[in-house]
Amino acid sequence: MKRGVLARWAAHLPLTPRTPHLTLGEGDTPLIAAPTLARDIGCAELWLKFEGQNPTGSFKDRGMVVAVAKAVEAGAHSAVCASTGNTSASAAAYCAAAGVRCNVVVPEGKVALGKLAQAVAHGARIVVLRGNFDAALSRVREIAQRTGIALLNSVNPHRIEGQKTAAFEIAEALGEVPHTVALPVGNAGNISAYWRGFCELGPRRPVMLGFQATGAAPLVSGAPIAEPETIATAIRIGNPASWKTAVEAQRDSGGLFAAVTDAEILAAYRRLSSEAGVFCEPASAAPVAGLLRLAQEKRSFAGQTIVAVLTGHGLKDPQSAIDAAAEIGPAIADDIGTLEAALQ
């Protein structure tokens, strides 16, 4: 079978004979069953679309492979993005593979360690900005416009084109379109991309549910948030660039935006890893937290097939996992009796 988003979905992507055949093996991520969560949500089936299994550990790879390939096709030698972490890790990896210089601008102090490690490892130039993601994005948009350097954020339409392929995979794997799709929403590119994918597939479309963190929920309040705050640093975004298309997805699908607290996100994060065996990063637990909340508020999902999109891998943010767990005890003596007692 053909590997990678460009090869598999060529007919649905804006490729030409001059587009390089770039791939790191992205896409084809699994749908994983989560029966205990499905029971509590009250649906027939809950499937976790685990995008953490992409090459750099997040959904960004689907769009990045298209954006970087198109940038190379257009003759770019360098690229830039603003990022809460995953975009920079993905951009750095695909630029490395394509021989493009990568520059990433990240908000000070709010990027999970694994993501920063990836950007460093792949040789990106990292600029730390005294400001949040929204400030970083507005600066790099201006720089890209002024200099012509390739912009790799999801305001680049090729990113959305690549990310829509996840919708194709879901429909293919289930043999039908699910009733409901739930996603975490930050800059709102991904929910826009899924909606585009489902619209291209045909008239049967899912209800789109977008979940934000309470401290960073502009799509819920209806106005930008100047100082977004959440433990889910990936979605610590106050003024989503794809606001308009995200609202269209919500409205045209009969869906909704809702906010979940950091405590609800962490509870869902722990249940996903300890009950479903799927280790995602905190932001990715937001849709599961949201579905559990809606079920508690008596919204009925009876008989439904639901897909929750788990956007990034838990290893991206090991500190959150350690902080969320019971304390690990001190080292014990290397002695069989002591060990046996410790394991009782």
Residues forming contacts to ligand AN7 in the complex (CB under 6 A) are 58, 83-87, 154, 184-190, 234-235, 281, 283-284, 311-312
Query: CB of 154: closest distance to ligand AN7 in angstroms?
Result: 6
Question: Which two structure tokens, joined as six digits, stand for 338?
Answer: 């002591």
Question: Which two structure tokens, joined as six digits, stand for 24?
Answer: 């790191």
Query: CB of 280: closest distance to ligand AN7 in angstroms?
Result: 8
The candidate with the shortest Cα–Cα distance to 60, out of 34, 30, 84, is: 84
DSSP secondary structure letter of residue 235: G
Measured distance CA(83)–CA(89) in Å, rounded: 9
Query: CB of 193: closest distance to ligand AN7 in angstroms?
Result: 7
Taking phi over 0 as left and psi of -120 to 50 as alpha, with beta for the rest, 341 belongs to: alpha
Closer residue to ligand AN7, CB minimum distance, 41 or 92: 92
Which amino acid is located at 221 in the chain? S
Measured distance CA(80)–CA(16) in Å, rounded: 23
Check if the beta carbon of residue 161 is closer than 8 Å to that of residue 155. Answer: no
Closer residue to ligand AN7, CB minimum distance, 42 or 162: 162
The candidate with the shortest Cα–Cα distance to 69, out of 2, 158, 142, is: 158
Query: CB of 43: closest distance to ligand AN7 in angstroms?
Result: 22
Question: Residue 59 forms beta bridges with which residues?
Answer: none
Question: Which two structure tokens, joined as six digits, stand for 289?
Answer: 């937290």
Closer residue to ligand AN7, CB minimum distance, 12 or 110: 110
Query: CB of 236: closest distance to ligand AN7 in angstroms?
Result: 9
Classified as helix, coil or strand, 200 is: helix
The candidate with the shortest Cα–Cα distance to 124, out of 142, 135, 138, 111, is: 111
Closer residue to ligand AN7, CB minimum distance, 192 or 304: 192
Query: CB of 2: closest distance to ligand AN7 in angstroms?
Result: 26
The burial class, CB within 10 Å (0-12 / 13-18 / 19+), for 126 is middle
In degrees and rounded to multiples of 5, residue 242 shows phi and psi of -100, 35
Taking phi over 0 as left and psi of -120 to 50 as alpha, with beta for the rest, 85 belongs to: left
Closer residue to ligand AN7, CB minimum distance, 55 or 189: 189
Any idea of the CA torsion for 93, 96, 97, 100, to the nearest 10 degrees? 120
Closer residue to ligand AN7, CB minimum distance, 4 or 107: 107
Query: CB of 16: closest distance to ligand AN7 in angstroms?
Result: 26
Query: CB of 53: closest distance to ligand AN7 in angstroms?
Result: 13
The candidate with the shortest Cα–Cα distance to 193, out of 1, 5, 2, is: 5
Closer residue to ligand AN7, CB minimum distance, 70 or 317: 317
Query: CB of 174: closest distance to ligand AN7 in angstroms?
Result: 22
Closer residue to ligand AN7, CB minimum distance, 178 or 184: 184
What are the DSSP E strand ranges found in 192-317? Answer: 207-213, 256-260, 305-310
Closer residue to ligand AN7, CB minimum distance, 60 or 271: 60
